[in-house]
Amino acid sequence: MKQPELFSQKPKPVLAHRCELGEGPVWDNHTGSLIWVDILGGTIHEFDVATGKHHHIKTQALVGAVALCTNGHLLAALDTRLEWIHRDSGKRKLLTALEHIPDGIRFNDGKCDPAGRFWIGTMPLSEDRPIGALYCLGPDGDCKEQLRGITISNGLAWNAAGTTMYYIDTPTRAVQAFDFHPETGALTNRRIAFGIPESEGFPDGMTIDSEDKLWIAHWGGWQVARWDPETGRKLGAFPLPAAQITSCSFGGPEGEDLYITSASKGLTLGELEKQPLAGSLFVVKNSGFRGRPANRFAFEPKFDTP
């Protein structure tokens, strides 16, 4: 297949549905479907690319993120609880809940590391105080705090070697890097990999491609951009017809389609008229870049017959 001219494609909406706060896209390479959430709508969405079927699960909670489990079901961060969700029936089972945390906290972005641990951050509903944290959930169900003093915990990514973790606390306008120890999940050597200029918007969700370059969704920046974490150089971007871009993930049969979530949260009627696709799920088909399969949580929940 002839590769497209890089960054020449125009992102297109996947389906006629708009989220208030779309987030957390993850591609399931076993089923050929894209899963994402509407945090404020309390909904987990799934779109089967081959059939066009759009399935959703209402959680009656603020759903910060979901992860695939090794048996194909879902691990969901709901309010301040972590629950298993049966993918077909929507049946739920509590795994653990955060304790001894400040009021007005919810889970936000989360992702599995290469060893199958689930990393999930929190943030204040007010979005203005550093009282959030970053947690790591192991296969034993033990959820341990790893970082504190976080305001809006967001994007997570690991390099191909599994030795570096990248992390975004959105108001800092920076991507942090850590030496990552795959055997234990320990973080050391915390540092700023690079900053995001104010003109680019705020860094939000993030993924990484097969060349270990970071793809960052820019809230207020109308774009998803590719960044070199070693040099801090912006390598290119896909402009979008919405300002509040929240996250991105590679998918498709060859991992070359870039899926992008967005939000309509807080937009005025005038802004919505100018951004009628705000809150949509977008895709850049055959983007010219390739991602890696999503890591799965290394624990298999047992459900009774739904």
Identify whether the C-beta of residue 152 lies closer than 8 Å to the C-beta of residue 123: yes
The catalytic position among 109, 113, 204, 209 is 204
154 is in an annotated binding site: yes
d(CA 280, CA 295): 25
Tokens at 281, concatenated: 């799920």
108 is in an annotated binding site: yes
189 is in an annotated binding site: no
> Strand (E) positions, 209-262?
214-219, 223-228, 233-239, 245-251, 257-262
- The candidate with the shortest Cα–Cα distance to 56, out of 37, 69, 28, 30, is 37
23 is in an annotated binding site: yes
3-state DSSP assignment of residue 170: helix
Clarify whether 204 is annotated catalytic. yes
d(CA 84, CA 77): 9
The β-bridge partners of 131 are: none
106 is in an annotated binding site: yes
Show binding-site residues. 23, 106, 108, 154, 204
Catalytic residues: 204
The annotation places the binding site for substrate at 106, 108
* Residues of the binding site for a divalent metal cation: 23, 154, 204
